[in-house]
Amino acid sequence: EQETNMPASWLNPTPRLNKWFSVVEKAHFSWCLVLTPSSKIMFFPHFFQMLDVYDLLSFDNPDGGVWKQGFDISYQDNEWDNEPLQVFVVPHSHNDPGWLKTFDDYYRDQTQHILNNMVVKLHEDSRRKMIWSEISYFSKWWDNIDEQKRDAVRRLIESGQLEVATGGWVMPDEASTHYSALIDQLVEGHQWLERNLGVKPKTGWAVDPFGHTPTQAYLLRQAGLSNMLIQRVHYTVKKHFASQKTLEFFWRQNWDQDSSSDILCHMMPFYSYDVPHTCGPDPKICCQYDFKRLPGGRISCPWRIPPQAITDNNVQERAQTLLDQYRKKSKLFRTNVLLVPLGDDFRYTEAVEWDQQFDNYQKLFDYMNSHPELHVQAQFGTISDYFEALRKSTGMDPVGINVGQLALPVLSGDFFTYADRDDHYWSGYFTSRPFYKRLDRVLESHLRAAEVLYSLTLANIQKYGQPNDYPSVDNYKLLTEARRNLGLFQHHDAITGTGKDWVVVDYGTRLFHSILNVKRVIVSSAHWLVLKDKQTYFHDPSNPFLQMDDVQPSQDALPRKIIFEVHEKPRLLVVYNPTEQARMSMVTVYVTTPKVRVLNALGHVVRAQVSAVWNDASHAAADVFQVRSATSVHHITALWVYSAPLGLSVYQLMEGMEPRTEAAKYMFLQDGRQISLIHLGTTLKCSNVSCLQKMRLKEDDSEDLVKVEFVLYGTTSNKDKSGAYLFLPDKEATILLNECVYTPQNYPVLIPKKTWKTMAKLPLQANFYPMTSMVYLQDSSGRLSLLTAQSLGAASLKSGQLEVIMDRRLNQDDNRGLGQGVLDNKITANSFRLLLEKRSSECSHSHTCTAPYSYPSILSHMSYMYLNHPLISMAVNQRSDNPSLTPYSPLSASFPCDMHLVNLRAIQSKEEGGGPSEQAALILHRKGFDCGFSNRNTGLLCTTTRGKIHLEKLLTDLKVKSITPVSLSLMHTHNSDADPQEISLKPMEIRTYRLQLS
């Protein structure tokens, strides 16, 4: 029983209780006794792992009555006599930055009117409140309003009537997004708020992402937020949490050894975030309190019982009926503080809706509050008003980030894969529109490369102290636009591939233009940094000094290599390594002759391979050739490529390989469908149904059978079918697993898939998960990892087998609001690396399936970095006289192997003009890694230092005046007695520093 008057003997440390505790602790549960104000003893789980919860649940779907996915809720009328029910009704409007309309169309037709009405209607009554989440819309509106209206907004925020929740650029998807892009969009939103409103968000609000990840919880906590709310969780999990009264918990990272990552989280209990599913368990009653649906309006209640305007004649009955729902909902929680959201998609567009909702609710509140026998206090509130009251009621720190007394349980784990009803699992969107999922990562990589190079260029210009025409302001504006376009695409109907066709094109066009723009920033910055004589720098945007080695013709086309003319006069190449470790990688360019020689920056000949460029399976191009050379790059270096009679023959591709047939079989495309399998520089490309047969491990020359096949799923013949969101396949799978399967989070820590007991209870589509970075299989002797350069859906349904969904084509809609199938498929160049590793030694990190998390190896981390952040090659314009170039490196040595420079991002000046300040944000992440895999003979040019680095010694080219530890998005300054130059990070920790550059 979850609530009962237990016998007094249960309170004594009897052998019975001790024995029972020892059993449940083995199952990753711990329990606590809570004495409530009503003198009832409650017995609750205190710490629990989601893996154990999934094992516990039966995933059946009985009809729960009015709360169809739940159960009947009852209460005693006197339960609130000693402690009244405190109700916070939180008005909100969920504004998708693109879905059925483009971002701009939604803004023009709806969002601007919502925000304009908000200013007027909140000022009419100080008791009215509202929350807003999407800064992408808010900033566009802010740019279009006058100073008088801006002052009115500031007054609403200061008075507590308007709260900005989360404050990210968008409400991001939490499955397909990479953690660095999640950080980018959060920083962009928070920096805008700090610059324009001085606001520091306290609470996260995520009502619509299709499943929830602990990564987002960690990032919000690191940004200084105290609380968060989530909504789209599997209906069976919601029901279980409601029955256990664990819908509110401290969300802790799997890898956290203490409570440093805890953030207080509220899970909404019912089907949706709309009004019918937020006041209580009965949607036909709650719908009667959505006063936008009053008779005569555009929308009505599907249960055919309309709302009634509140009058003196009906207020008593209407208030008591609503209070009954409030009381029933409160029975699912541990305190007498209740949250009731009041809103839906694009609500409060018209002034009349503000009056309908606020006036009618105020009459209900006035009646409830004026009748003490009802034992309720109801009012409008913001989401932070609610959490402050919740914390106060449990004895916690009411507003701060410190947890204080742990009166609520602690949870670790994730909430994937989401199902909203029946067997309708939302695993289809993990792959929908894969072309744009790939384009997202291309912009993400190029933007980071441009941010770092731009910041280094500004510092280097200060160092030389001479005037130049480097376009610092223009470049900063290009970076800002790219940040915002990338941020917009993290929205839960953008990167997910769940928008209308023309909306997808709008997103793609924004990504495409920003890729072109950040390339401009890269070439103009690299131009300055590699010049030996800075006096010769010039900026000519119509005729740039450097030219990228590839070009993308349009937003929906694949990039293609630029063909460089090569003569006896050397052609200079500048190669930029955007990672923080020196690396040996392949540089590939297309040239007009097979007779070439490559020299490095010191003038020494570099071994190079010349090969054919194939027009099709059997015809090589006569006038285009590929040159590949292995090049060691610290940061930026130069190569000389020129025509030479001693160049390798076009067909001398590999030692000992008969040139024409083997090269065509293994090295080149056959028909456009392609898988690339890369291990330490060796690439296999093929299109046959099963082209790969075995892999040889370099370390010990052992061989393993590895097979690649293509398969096809159809959709079910049932009434409900697959669409952009749902995956409802035409076949079932028998789950047969002998090894441990780890699936990724956005963050590079992997969690075990549900255990085979859970998987066997679930349909095939429930066992697909988002693959954002990698997925691996492992047993006690080894590990097979698949690393990815784009987010897709993945599963392991049988032992030793991984499945990755590459693309989806769907004739029909899946009835989740999109109103179309997915028929706009594009030829997509997905990239992967397959890594086979033998476990070499035991170490402190467990590799068993019982561990709630797992780390990649160091080699896996670095291979992933090389895949996602390739070398960037630029050729000096042929019309330029060959100037004197010099390699550039801002680092005295490589960063440690496990330390990642997430970003070095220039901060905008507070002055007019939108240019950079003399400050930069340095964001570092220490990767956790499994030490049970050997790093010998891997070719890595870095070591580990137990998370310690000295910034001043490493960043030799940055004249840093001061280093200040700050929260993730720079909103809060951390006080520390430690030397800010000496940085020490725990495994998995992300930390931000504000650099003041001299």
Q: Which residues are catalytic?
A: 208
Report whether 743 contacts 771 (CB < 8 A): yes
Identify residue 356 by its one-letter amino acid code.
Q
Instruction: Please give the order of strands across the beta sheet that includes 960-966.
Output: 899-908, 916-926, 990-997, 960-966
Distance CA 323, CA 447 (A): 52
The residue assigned the tokens 């992402």 is 209
C-alpha distances (whole Å) from 752 to each of 174, 258, 413 are 18, 21, 10
Q: What residues have CB less than 8 Å from 719, skipping those under 6 apart? A: none
Cβ atoms within 10 Å of 401's Cβ, excluding its own: 16
Backbone angles phi, psi at 70, to 5 degrees: -130, -125
Report whether 946 contacts 926 (CB < 8 A): no
Conformational region of residue 205, where left means phi above 0, alpha means psi within -120 to 50, and beta covers everything else = beta
Report whether 327 contacts 282 (CB < 8 A): no
Rounded (5°) CA angle 404-405-408:
115
Kindly write down the DSSP assignment for every residue of 689-749, as one continuous string.
TT---EEE-TTT--EEE---------B-SSSS---SS---BS-----B--SEEEEE-SSS-
Conformational region of residue 28, where left means phi above 0, alpha means psi within -120 to 50, and beta covers everything else = left
Which residue pairs, CB below 8 angstroms and at least 24 apart, start in 400-404? 400/226, 401/221, 401/224, 401/225, 401/226, 403/250, 403/259, 403/262, 403/264
C-alpha distances (whole Å) from 360 to each of 366, 562, 598 are 10, 65, 78
Element spanning 628, H or E: strand 620-633
Q: What residues have CB less than 8 Å from 476, skipping those under 6 apart? A: 454, 906, 908, 914, 915, 916
Backbone angles phi, psi at 990, to 5 degrees: -115, 135
Conformational region of residue 30, where left means phi above 0, alpha means psi within -120 to 50, and beta covers everything else = beta
Closest CA to 980 of 961, 958, 959: 961
742, exposed or middle or buried, with CB in 10 Å at 0-12, 13-18, 19+? buried
Q: Which two tokens stand for residue 228?
A: 């968060």
Report whether 610 contacts 500 (CB < 8 A): no
Distance CA 273, CA 275 (A): 7
Identify residue 509 by its one-letter amino acid code.
T
Report whether 215 contacts 746 (CB < 8 A): yes
Residue 233 C-beta-side C-alpha neighbours within 13 Å: 26
Q: What residues have CB less than 8 Å from 12, skipping those under 6 apart? A: none
Q: Which two tokens stand for residue 418?
A: 């989401």
Beta strands in 203-302 (DSSP E): 203-206, 227-230, 248-251, 263-267
Cβ atoms within 10 Å of 127's Cβ, excluding its own: 15
